[in-house]
Structure 1
Amino acid sequence: MFLLPMKKSICIILLSFFTITFVKSQDRVSNPLLLQTWKLKKLDTYIYTFERKDVFDNKSFGIRFKENGKMQANLPQAGDRSGFMEDFSNKKLKFERYTGEWKKTSDSTLTVIFSSNSSMNGNFIISRLTSGDLKLKRLFDAKTEKKMDSIRREKNILD
């Protein structure tokens, strides 16, 4: 008689434990793979594709996520935005190291803020995260997002 309620409680505890473990494993933002240095490899209509690097290359776009919600990035200088979207490897662009903050807003979404250079400020969906690749899709308001999705479909860009 005493054994039956105890078995139920143990089953409930185990089920809860495995459910929480599974949900946590789906959380891309707190994944330790994110906490690395990334160099921009490709940019398609606000979908940023990065590859993992061990160190920053001072002459290219790159970001480094840290555990404490801080981050560093090599971004084009604040007044140097001409042509950036078309050619991020443009030799005329001058990159500078900026310190910013990132925070988790959902399981696969993060917010990035750089107070001294707003070029990367915004919300991003992590659409791919492996040991060597990171793909971030910038989020916009509903009207702009609809327009961006239309452009991406037209260009056959998959996120």
Structure 2
Amino acid sequence: MAKVYPQIIPTSPDQTQCLTSKRETYTLWLKSLVFHSNGCTVYDSNGDIVYRVDNYDRKGRREVNLMDLRGKVLCTIKKRLLALGCWEGHRCMSSDFGTQEQPWFQVKRCNQMIKGKVACQISVGCQKYSLVRISGKTEAFKIVTWMDK
């Protein structure tokens, strides 16, 4: 089981109530809490639900929703350009007029013949990163800015 240790730095005084720099262990359970849905649930070390990930589209499986413990959709990840391997992330904002999606990030898989060690390229707003394979290790990667390559 993989462990994730977040390093959180609050950007405003309001965030200090919810965020901590204390090391936390998360458990990913590959079961959906929704009947007849594909997804998983993320628990913290106290056994409390932190996030839910569900796919309600059984046919295409081209869209996944990341939700908080109450089931509110926080972001949607959509698979685009199947042959090229492209995913887009959208932040979901609730309002009186329904839920609106705002573009957040994009991930493109790179062809190994063309890019070599670069596994994929990531764009978050105007910031651009690459996921690069570490030499000698088949499953090890590092994130670098496009200028660092």
TM-score bracket, normalised by the shorter chain, equals 0.3 to 0.5
Q: Per residue, is there more helix in 1 or in 2?
A: 1
User: Which structure carries more strand by proportion?
Assistant: 2
**Rg bigger for which structure?**
1
